[in-house]
Amino acid sequence: MKILKQLALITLLAIGASAQPRNVDALIDSNLHSLLATYKQLHAAPELSHYEEKTAAFLAGQLRLLGFTVTERVGKYENPEWTSYGVVAIMKNGAGPTVLIRTELDALPVEENTGLPYASKVRTKNEAGQEVGVMHACGHDIHVTSMIGTARVLTELKDQWQGTLMIIGQPAEEVIHGARSMLRDGLYEKFPRPDFAIALHDNAEIEAGKVGLTPGYALASSTSVDVQIRGLGGHGARPETTKDPIVIAAQVVLALQTLVSRENSPLDPAVITVGSIHGGSKHNIIPDEVNMQLTVRAYKEEVRKRIRASIERIAKGTAAAAGVPENLAPVVKISDSQVTAATYNSPELVERLAGVFAKTLGADNVLQVPPAMVSEDFGYFSLEQKIPSAMFWLGAVDPAKMKTGERLPSLHSPLFAPAPEPTIRTGIRAMTAAVLDLMKK
Ligand SMILES: [Zn+2]
Ligand SMILES: [Zn+2]
C-alpha cells in the first residue's frame, strides 16, 4: 500500500510538472514514464478475483486525482461473503452522450515464470484453501494502466469532448461474474446508463502497435455444466450385478460430441469439452458414480439452450439404455455463477472505430480478427445488445519477437510477457481516439 501511495505522489508531481502539451501523443509521452512505473507496480502486486481491494483503491485514487467523481465497492455477488471491488468514475463535461469504458482489475492463480525483474512473487490461498501463485497473466494490469493514461489524456483535452465519461474498474472478470455483480447492484440506476460501451483486451498474437476488431459475435458464451452419472456399484469381477457408471460415462462423453457434429448447423459454431471426469477408487471396484465437468461454448443463445437440453437428454437416455433405474437417473446441473453471455460487437460501432483507429494508428495497424470461442463478461454491459458496445484487441507482442517466429506464450500462460511500452501507448491512443470521436464537440 505504501508503494501505491508513493506512486500517487509521483503522479501528482508528473501532472503538476507537465508543460501542458496539447496533443494526444505529446500527452502520452509526458505521462509514459510514470505509467510504466505504475504498470510494473501493478504487475508485481496482482490480486485474485474477489480480492482486488488494493488494485481497485489505486485506480480509484488515480481517477479522483484527475477530478472524477469516484464510487468504490460497486457490485453485489450472489455469495454475500464476497466483497465486490467495482469502481465507477464519472466525469461530466456538458451535454452529450454517456460513454462507458471498462478495465478489469483481477489476476489469475498462475505462478509467474517470465523471469522479468518486475515479475510477481505473490503467493496466496485460493478459495479452496490451496496455496497458489498469482500473476497478471491476462494483462489486466496493461488495461488498468492504459485506462489511467486514457483518463489523464482526456482530462487534459476536456475542451475537445462533451458528455459524460464513465470509467468502470470491473472485478472478477476471470470468474465471469464481476460485470453482473455491478449491474445487479444497480449500475445503470445509480449511475447514468451509457449510450456506448467500449473495452480493450490485450492480445498475445498481435504485434504491439496494432489493434484488431471483430464485427458481430466476437467471443462465445460460456456455460459450465456438471454431470453426475449414477450407477450401482459392486465387485469389479461381478459386472452382471452392477450398473457400471464408468462405462455409461464413457458412452456419454462420446455421444456428447455428436451434439455439435450431428445436431447443430455447421454454420453455428459450438464447442462441448469434458474438462474433468472422476470416478472410482480402485482397480477392482465398480463405483456408484462418476462426476464430469463440462464447458459449452456458443454464440447464439438458442444454440446454447439447445445444447444444454441435449446434454441432459443424452445423459439420461444413455443411462436408461444401460438399465439404470429412473430414481438413479443422471443429475445435470448448470452453474449459476460460472456462465457468461456471448460478446457481441455492434457492427456499426466497429465500423466507426475501424475508421477512427485507421486515422490514428494508420490503416496497416488495424486488423480484422476472426471471432474466438473464448469468453468474457463485458457483453453484460450492453444489456443484451441494447447498448452499442465493442471490445477491441490490443496487440501486445514485442515486434522483434514476432519476426523471429518463436512460439508466443498465450494469455493465461506463466510466460505471458507483453511489451509494456508500445502496448500501453497504443492502448491509450486507440481508446482516447474512440472516446474523442464518440463524444466530439
Ligand atoms: Zn482478460
Ligand atoms: Zn483472462
Three-state SS letters, 366-394: EEECCCECCCCCHHHHHCCCCCCEEEEEE
CA 372–ligand 2 middle distance (angstroms): 13
CA of 104 to the centre of ligand 1 (A): 7
Q: How far is the CA of 106 from the centre of ligand 1 (A)?
A: 8
Residue 94 Cα to ligand 2 midpoint, Å, equals: 36
Q: How far is the CA of 384 from the centre of ligand 2 (A)?
A: 22
For ligand 1, the distance from its centroid to the CA atom of residue 411, given in whole angstroms, is: 8
Q: Ligand 2 centre from 380 Cα, in Å?
A: 16
Distance 118 CA to ligand 2 centre (A): 20
Ligand 1 center from residue 373 Cα (angstroms): 14
Give residue 165 CA to ligand 1 midpoint distance, Å: 23
Per-residue model confidence (pLDDT) at position 31:
97
Q: Ligand 1 centre and the CA of 77: distance in Å?
A: 20
The letter for the amino acid at 34 is S
Would you give per-residue pLDDT tens digits along the chain (441 residues)? 445 555 555 554 454 444 456 799 999 999 999 999 999 999 999 999 999 999 999 999 999 999 999 999 999 998 888 999 999 999 999 999 999 999 999 999 999 999 999 999 999 998 889 999 999 999 999 999 999 999 999 999 999 999 999 999 999 999 999 999 999 999 999 999 999 999 999 999 999 999 999 999 999 999 999 999 999 999 999 999 999 999 999 999 999 999 999 999 999 999 999 999 999 999 999 999 999 999 999 999 999 999 999 999 999 999 999 999 999 999 999 987 788 999 999 999 999 999 999 999 999 999 999 999 999 999 999 999 999 999 999 999 999 988 887 778 999 999 999 999 999 999 999 999 999 999 999
Distance 377 CA to ligand 1 centre (A): 10
| Cα separation, 27 vs 21, whole angstroms | 6
| 136 Cα–ligand 1 center, Å | 9
Can you give the pLDDT at residue 20?
57
Ligand 1 centroid, distance to 309 Cα (angstroms): 29
Integer Cα distance of 88 and 91 in angstroms: 10
pLDDT of residue 8: 53
Q: What is the pLDDT of residue 337?
A: 78
Q: Compute the distance from residue 363 Cα to the ligand 2 centre, in Å.
A: 28
Ligand 2 centroid–CA 379 distance in Å is 15
Rounded Cα distance, 185 and 74, in Å = 7
* CA atoms within a 13 Å half-sphere pointing along the CA-CB vector of 59: 36
429 neighbors 155 (Cβ within 8 angstroms): no
Sequence-ordered strand ranges (E) for 299-360: 331-340, 343-345
Starting from the edge strand earliest in sequence, which strands make up the sheet with 98-104, in order?
A: 69-74, 86-93, 163-170, 98-104, 196-207, 389-397, 211-213, 366-368
Distance 288 CA to ligand 2 centre (A): 36
